[in-house]
Amino acid sequence: MKTNNSPFRVTITFFISILSIYGLPNLVSAQTNSDDQSILNAARALGVVKNIPRTAPAQQQAYTPRTQAQPAANTVKPDPYAAKRQQILRQNAARRKAHQQRIQQAQRQKYQKANLQRTQQQNSQHNLWNRVYQGFRFRDYKHQPLVKKYTREFSRSPQRIQQLADRSSDYLFMVVNELNRRRMPTELALLPFVESAYKNSAFSHAGAAGMWQFIPATGRRYGLKQTRSYDARLDSHQATRAALDYLQKLNRQFKGDWLLALAAYNCGEYRVEREIAKNRSRGKRTDYWSLDLPRETRQYVPRLLAFKEIYRNPGAYQVRLKGIPNSPALARINVNKPVNLRKAAARAGLPADKLLALNSGYLHGITTPRFSNQITLPRRYAGRLHKAIQSLPPAKDVHNVSARGYAKYSRGKRSKFRYHKVRRGDNLFQIARKHGTTVKRIKRLNKMRSSKIWPGKRLIIAKSSRRSYS
């Protein structure tokens, strides 16, 4: 049989022979596309590539193209730390989330605190009681038996509590301002409730006078002038300044213990020091609640703490406390001439009793510039009163004239003694102060063993007077 050796066939035969020599039939067999497979089949039919073995279908390996998305199975090794790495990533994400939550919570709290402070500041601008509450520094003693007793006693009459608050509205702003300026506890603004019920003209049987109840000796020690026509203990501003000076001194003396300072304010610092020394020598405690103090002093501090508890929580004791504007209710103006306060009040359209009550220090209702050149008046009447005072002529100096209403002059026969007829509400201290004498002297002249007096009684005031009193 004759073979047809065309040039095309010779070329194909030569190319296949070269591939078989260099061991590339495996590569050719791996290419499973249809074109190469047809060429190999044609070569085998011609008997040219008899040496290329035909592999069994079961032994042939399938070709999988390599792509970036699906790498070859034999080149990727399993990562033994993959699970641990994923766990760490999850933990880090949880920590970052918790940290962000903490930051947001802190920002919310800061914003709420700022809003609360702003609200309190706005409220304090409208209600003075808020300033009082914010300045409380004493410990909570509401569980002490005496404090509980007086709290129950005071809370039985809510109208009385409100009446005291209304009476303090004229002076409370001045007192709280001075306490804040000195950085003192605002519980001390409640002390006049115990001392005088915030009455500027209050007197006690022991000779104490004014809103802060100064006795004459202590008042003079702290610069409060006392004459026949002027008593600075009855001047609310002067007395407040002196009282806070005294309380600061007592607080330093008792090493910051305000309860001991208040007890000393009532019964004297020497009595408190003696009781402290007595307890210390016996190995007992030296705090206020452990001292053997006078009965009045033992009741004094619990009363103040009871007022604090009621005014701090008025709703708990059925007290409907009215707000006090956080603005000064009073003003002070200079007066450099004697002025009749009744006439000034009438000319300005102000009730005379109101102006006299605010200026109780002028004992005859006439200013005395030689002792004090200031008067206290309601702020809303300041302009009108100032004009009225400027238009009034100087009044007669009453420094050496007895108080009007307490004595009547007569031009009769000269008397050996000077008398005073007791009226309702009088006491020996008031009478002695009005007539420029002392309680001890009046009792000696009248041979009195006690200080009790009654309306209608005629008391001998002094001897050898040029005029007789009836």
CATH 3.10.350.10 in the chain: give the residue spans.
409-469
Cα separation, 292 vs 272, in Å, equals 9
pLDDT exceeding 90 applies to what percent of the chain? Answer: 49
How do residues 2-24 score in pLDDT, each as one tens digit?
A: 445 566 676 777 777 766 655 55
Question: For residues 244 and 224, is the Cβ–Cβ distance under 8 A?
Answer: no
Q: List the end-to-end C-alpha distance of the chain, in Å, as a whole number.
A: 182
- Over residues 327-352, the mean pLDDT reads 91
Number of residues that make up the chain: 470
Cα separation, 420 vs 462, in Å, equals 10
User: Angle at the Cα of 235 (from 231 to 237), degrees rounded to 5?
Assistant: 145
Dihedral (CA of 69, 73, 76, 81) sign: positive
Domain at 139-317: CATH code: 1.10.530.10
CATH 1.10.530.10 in the chain: give the residue spans.
139-317
Question: For residues 441 and 432, is the Cβ–Cβ distance under 8 A?
Answer: yes
**HEC sequence for the chain:** CCCCCCHHHHHHHHHHHHHHHCCCHHHHHHCCCHHHHHHHHHHHHHCCCCCCCCCCCCCCCCCCCCCCCCCCCCCCCCCCCHHHHHHHHHHHHHHHHHHHHHHHHHHHHHHHHHHHHHHHHHHHCCCHHHHHHHCCCCCCCCCCHHHHHHHHHHHCCHHHHHHHHHHHCCCHHHHHHHHHHHCCCHHHHHHHHHHCCCCCCCECCCCCECCCCECHHHHHHCCCCECCCEEHHHCHHHHHHHHHHHHHHHHHHCCCCHHHHHHHHHHCHHHHHHHHHHHHHCCCCCCHHHCCCCHHHHHHHHHHHHHHHHHHCHHHHCCCCCCCCCCCCEEEEECCCCCEHHHHHHHHCCCHHHHHHHCCCECCCECCCCCCCEEEEEHHHHHHHHHHHHHCCCCCCCCCCCCECCECEECCCCCCEEEEECCCCCCHHHHHHHCCCCHHHHHHHHCCCCCCCCCCCEEEEEECCCCEEC
Cα separation, 470 vs 468, in Å, equals 7
pLDDT exceeding 70 applies to what percent of the chain? Answer: 77
**For residue 119, what pLDDT is reported?**
59
**For residue 129, what pLDDT is reported?**
92
Task: Find where tokens 């001991």 sit.
Answer: 260
**For residue 306, what pLDDT is reported?**
96
**For residue 311, what pLDDT is reported?**
92
* CB atoms near residue 258 (< 10 Å): 21
**For residue 173, what pLDDT is reported?**
95
pTM (2 decimals)? Answer: 0.62
Domain at 409-469: CATH code: 3.10.350.10
Structure tokens at 239: 């007395």
Question: For residues 230 and 361, is the Cβ–Cβ distance under 8 A?
Answer: yes
How do residues 444-456 score in pLDDT, each as one tens digit?
A: 888 888 888 888 8
How do residues 272-304 score in pLDDT, each as one tens digit?
A: 999 999 999 999 999 999 999 999 999 999 999
pLDDT-derived band at 425, boundaries 50, 70, 90: confident
Contacts of 11 (CB under 8 A, 6+ apart): none
How do residues 55-108 score in pLDDT, each as one tens digit?
A: 545 444 555 555 555 555 556 677 778 888 888 999 999 999 999 999 999 998
Q: Helix 382-391 to helix 341-348 angle, to the nearest 10 degrees? A: 120
User: Angle at the Cα of 414 (from 408 to 419), degrees rounded to 5?
Assistant: 45
In Å, how far are 329, 403, 441 from 228, measured between CA atoms? 29, 9, 16
Task: Find where tokens 């609310």 sit.
Answer: 236
The residue annotated as part of the active site, out of 153, 178, 187, 195, is 195
pLDDT-derived band at 414, boundaries 50, 70, 90: very low
Question: For residues 422 and 454, is the Cβ–Cβ distance under 8 A?
Answer: yes
* 187 annotated active-site: no
